[in-house]
Each structure stands twice: as C-alpha cells, then as structure tokens.
Amino acid sequence: MRSLKVKDYMATKLVTFAPDLNVVEAMNQILNSGITAAPVVDESGSLVGILSEVDLMPVVIQDSYYDEPLGIVSDYMKTPVDTVDPNLDIYTLAERFIHEHRRRYPVVDAGKLVGQVSRRDVLRAALDYRDK
C-alpha cells in the first residue's frame, strides 16, 4: 500500500490565537471565520493550547452573571493538546480518529505548529489514492 503522509493533506493557512489575546476578540474571530476551534501559539510559533467553542461557554456565563473583566485566551484554552507529526501516515491517523473521536489534530514539527489535519483531509487522501 502506498504511503500517504499527513503533510501532504494538512491545512497550513490557519487562524491562530496568541495566549494573551482578549478572549472576546478570539470569540469574534471564531465566529467571523466560521471555525469551531483554533490553535494557540506563542511568539516562537510553538503550540501552547487550543481554544474551542465549548471552551468559550464559561465566557458567556461569566459575562451574563458577573461584571468582571473576561480575561485572555490562556485563561480558557485547553492544554495539553494532542498533536500529530507531519510524517504520520494517513492510515494510522484514520485509526486515531476512530479511537479518539477527534475532529482534527494540530500538526507539530520540532515543537512548532505547521498545520492542522481533519477527518475530511483523511477522506480526501483516500479518494486521491483510489483515483490513482
């Protein structure tokens, strides 16, 4: 079987957040970009967390009940983040998607965020393989 790698199918143009970004601005970016989550990276491009719609639910509750500053992305992001290597084969990734019930994984190489791969990308790779 031919080897198909994550790096050949991952998305590389991503919306990302800085840990010190105002959480309301991050919420606006999620809504305006039509995404459900985004990686959080530090100044050097290292992945430090992920912020999703569900992580923002406490912001909604806090905003409705309390008159306090809402904070920054690092107050709400999830850590640690499950990641994949860009050289991982698509078939192994498909098994991870099945067993771990994730929608996407950040792709990290030498500690730096280089992309993101989704279940849709795996399906695209499978069709490409069939068509060749």
Q: What pLDDT score does 122 carry?
A: 96
Number of structural domains in the chain: 1
Domain span holding position 15: 6-131
Whether 1 is covered by a domain: the verdict is no
* Residue 120 is assigned to a structural domain of this protein: yes
pLDDT above 90 for 68: no
User: pLDDT tens digits, residue range 119-129?
Assistant: 999 999 999 87
Number of Cβ within a 10 Å radius of residue 79: 10
Tokens, residue 98: 């099945």
Cα–Cα distance list, 115 to 11, 16, 70, 106, 121 (Å): 5, 10, 29, 6, 12
Whether residue 73 lies inside any domain: the answer is yes
Q: Residues 8-59: pLDDT tens digits?
A: 999 999 999 999 999 999 999 999 999 999 999 999 999 999 999 999 999 8
31 falls within a domain: yes
Where residue 85 sits, what CATH number does that domain have?
3.10.580.10
Which residue carries 């994550």 as its tokens?
A: 6
Kindly report the pTM of this predicted structure.
0.88
